[in-house]
Every structure is written in C-alpha cells, then in structure tokens.
Structure 1
C-alpha cells in the first residue's frame, strides 16, 4: 500500500496508527479464544447464548465483506475517493481485514461447539431467526439494487450498516441470559476485558488518522468501525458490572433454572438460547 503510505503527513503518527491497529487486532483476535477454551474445558455451552453466537456470525461476516471489498477492490476505492476526496485515505487497515477473517473462522468454531457440546438441545429463538433472515435478506436486496448501477461503494456500505446494527443487538441476548440466570458462569469475562481493550484502541487509531489528515472524514467515512467500537465498549461495561458486581456467585446454576427460563417466555432471544 505504497500509495497510502505516501498520503500520511507524519511518519510518527503513521507508526502509531499501525501499532494501535495491530494492537486492537491482537486483543480482539485473542478475545475469541477464552470462550472457545472455556467451552472445551467444560464440554458444555451452558451459559452461552445461542442467539448471541448467530448474531455475532452475521455481524462479522458482514464486516468481513465490507473490509475486504474496501481494502482490495480498486473499483470500490475509486468510488470512495470520488465521494470523499482523492486526498482521503481508505479507512480500512490491513489489521481490519485480518481481524474480520480471523473472527469469522473462530465464531465458526464456536458454532460447531454449540452443535456438539452439552446444551445442544437448546434452540435459537424465533426472534433471532427472523432478525438474521431479515439481515441477509436486506443484503440480497442491496446486491440487486447496486448491481445494475455498479454502485459498489454503496453496496459495501450497506454491509457496513448491517454489521453496525448486528453489533448493537448481538449482546442483548447474552446480557439478558446473565440477568435471568443471575450468573455469568459459561460466559468468559476474559473475552470481555480483551474486547474492551480492542474497542478503545480502535477509536484511538481512528483519532490518530484524523489528527494527521486534519479531517473528520475518517470517522464519517467509516461509521461502521466507529459504531463497532462504541457499541462494544458499552456492552463490555455492562458485562463487567454483571460479572464483578451483580452476579459474583461462581457456582454453576442448577439445570432447573434453565427450564424455568425457557418456560417463562420461549420467544425471548436470551433465554431461548438456554
């Protein structure tokens, strides 16, 4: 990306930008492993919302499509520069593409665990199925609209919006499940601490680029990355409060609690995942 390198005004800021980006990539990527390891050690997915996993897969798949298209496609990059200005940097870093790819792979592993470990008798809620179907249905509509016009930037921006929306709702089933069980057992807090660090580093990285460019287009031209960070930070704080303040009991909840949750309201995303 020599063209991108030359567009930076400060080499020092560019190095800080890359460093913070790869730091976010590292902690975010590592954040998937504690849940995988926890599931493996327990040979159980009890305490992990199935709706959350499905939402997360949809979110990261959409984000991968956006990042890969904007980073690798000359056509999409040209349309981006035509809209935001030729002097503006493409707001997707190599670390963004690497993170998205890695995320989709690791969530696929968790999906496999959901299908094979204890708790596989649990069901994804009808609401989650509906939301996921609407998300991918919307993506198909976007493709059908953009294809005749060749408006590929508009198309990938649509995938970006989908991932922002999914980020906003994906944590809700897990937060509700923790509340209903009055426990965070089965839900990795290490994952949350790492995710919080990554979100903070991500916003810092975007700020560094804006300072170098003397422009806020880095934020307005990539609302997905900004939305991803702020939404993740908000829910990470919620989970930290649940784990360390509200539900400090570290014993596994009894199975009857799951049954009571399911009987209470089988349509709610969080408990339908139990």
Structure 2
C-alpha cells in the first residue's frame, strides 16, 4: 500500500511540473535592455522550443506613448524561430515590455527600453556625472590639508565629523552588501524581477573613500590641537538613537523577522537623515564664534560644485528622457542635493561676508 501511495505522489508531482512547463513555456529573449533614439526602431528576437507550438503569446507594453510593439502572436510549426518583435520608439522616456502566456507572466521574457531625444545630451550627462563624482571625492582633502597645515582642528565641528563618519559607514555597508552578497542580490531581484542593481562600482568607491577620508580627519582631531572641543551631548543622543535602531534591525535580521535587504534599506534611511542634519552643527558653531577659521572653504566650493552638477545632470536626463517624474514625483535625491547646495551657499556667505574679519588668530 505504501509503494502505491508513493508512486501516486510521484505521478502527481511530475504532472504538476509538466503542467507548469506547458503553461509557462520555455521562451527566451535576445536582450533585456535597449536604448533607442526617438523615432528609431529595433528588433528583438524571442526563441522557443518545439514543445511550445500552438501557444498564444501576448506582449504587454507598459507605456504605449513611448514604444509600440506587436501585441500578440501564435507559435506554430511554420513560425520563424526566433520570432522577431519590432519595437518602435514614439516618445521619450522609459518603458518595459514583457510576455504573457495564458495570463501567466514570463519573468525572464522582458525588455527595458530607454528612448532619448538627443544623443549628445546623453554623453554630456555622463561627463557631468564623472565631474561631480571627482569633485565630491576630492572635497574631503582641503579640510585634511588645512588641519595638517595649522596642526589644529579648532574651528572644525566634531558633531559634523561624527555624523559624517556614521553616515558614510552605513552608506558603504548598503553599497557593499547589495553589490557583493548573493543572498541580498537574490532578494532584491525577487522583489524587482526585471530591475537592475542600483549600486555601481563608483558608488562603492565613493562611499568607502569618504569613510576612510573622514576617519583620517578623526585621527587628526586626536593628534592636533583641539582646545575643549568634543562631540556634543545632542549629537551623542542622536547617534545613540540611530545605533539602537540599527542594532534592533540587526537582531530582527538575525532572527529572520526581516530580510537582510531591509536592514540595508534602514541603513540608507539613516544616511539620508544624517545628510539632512549634519551641516547644522558647523553652521551654528561658525555663528557662535563669528568666524570660519578652521573650516575649509575649499571643501565647500567642491561640495557646491558637485551638488550643482548633480542636479544639472538630473535636469538634463529628465529633459532627454522626458522623465520629470524622477525629480518632481520622487524629489528625495534632488531635494537632498538642493539642501546641501543651500548650506554651501550659507557657508560661503559666512566666510566671505558675515565673518570676513575675525578676532581668531589664523595661526591657532
């Protein structure tokens, strides 16, 4: 009796697997990412096995005002293999096409299509991106240099440094985890089956480099003259709250209440919060001292340049891809860049206008 039951179960399992294969088909597409200039066309190929004959394939299109494609076709013995699908670019922007069979979406049969207006703007945007990447990367060194030259960190706010090192450390963890850890990558693509990994190599370099540069500055704070400066109770409390939040998130991840990907997202949220508040202590310290001596204006100019170019790139891309939603629909990145630029302008006003003359000795 037990043998019969086992055989029956085996037959049922095989039948289910066969049925799933029959429903979903074994289709493959030649490419997942396509870039087209407005009004250009291209062809992608969908290949199939002979077991998929007599199937009706429907091509779903996310935005008909951006691309036009053939909506459906039947696979027969006389159909070409691979089957060509023509994509027409009718509007600038981003769209996605994917295939369904018997109302079942085929996760691996999709194409992300980007339609741009002007090819030169795409190159211009890439150049801008590298320039602001370099500007932000180099922006840490004027402060390190001025500390070394003066053999003093008097005038550099320790709250700013403490918030900065925690923010960039969490940002590094987010980038490294999502780029290098397969389990986290698998979870990301499970949630976003047709998405791309948002972390690039230059993101990792910038985050890790920023963390190391900030650590060098912290070492200078221990080595050089600092008078009575220290991390304030307010900053310690804020960092304590952040630390408790991350610690609880780690415990929840270990206990599998949340996924490790969620932990990385929480790290990124803390980083964003720190970016919003980290400039306040330095601006207030300059106001109290009525001086910007010890606070590098070179750092501010580079940060200002990077922020302006970052926003310019977003505007250029929004125009070229007709994607203004990326700015006004989800204003976080643009808003953070604008927020940093406003603070940079405030620091420039402090340095060159409000506190141009100071009782502080530059040689301190």
TM-score normalized with structure 1 length? 0.78
Is 1:68 the equivalent of 2:158?
no
Q: Which has the higher strand share?
A: 2
TM-superposed CA distance for 1:9, in Å, is 5.2
Q: CA–CA distance in 1 between the matches of 2:264 and 2:320?
A: 26
Q: CA–CA distance in 2 between the matches of 1:146 and 1:4?
A: 33
TM-superposed CA distance for 1:30, in Å, is 0.9
| Cα pair distance change 1:240/1:105, threshold 3 Å | same
Q: Aligned with 1:230: secondary structure? A: helix
| Cα pair distance change 1:199/1:100, threshold 3 Å | same
Is 1:112 the equivalent of 2:219?
yes
TM-superposed CA distance for 1:155, in Å, is 2.0
TM-score normalized with structure 2 length? 0.60
Q: CA–CA distance in 2 between the matches of 1:223 and 1:99?
A: 22
1:202 match: 310
Q: CA RMSD in A?
A: 3.3
Q: How does 1:14-163 map to 2 (within 5 A)?
A: 15-83=123-191, 86=194, 88-119=195-226, 121-147=228-254, 148-149=256-257, 151-163=259-271
Aligned equivalent of 2:360, options 252, 261, 267: 252
Decide which structure has the larger Cα Rg and report it: 2
Q: Is this contact kept in 2: 1:21–1:93, CA < 8 A?
A: no
State the aligned residue count: 253
Q: Is this contact kept in 1: 2:252–2:258, CA < 8 A?
A: no
Q: Please, which runs of 5 or more residues in structure 1 have no aligned partner?
A: 255-274
Is 1:183 the equivalent of 2:282?
no
Q: CA–CA distance in 2 between the matches of 1:3 and 1:191?
A: 41
Greater relative contact order structure (CA < 8 Å, 6+ sep): 1
Q: Is this contact kept in 2: 1:63–1:163, CA < 8 A?
A: yes
Q: CA–CA distance in 1 between the matches of 2:324 and 2:278?
A: 28
Q: Please, which runs of 5 or more residues in structure 2 have no aligned partner?
A: 1-30, 36-111
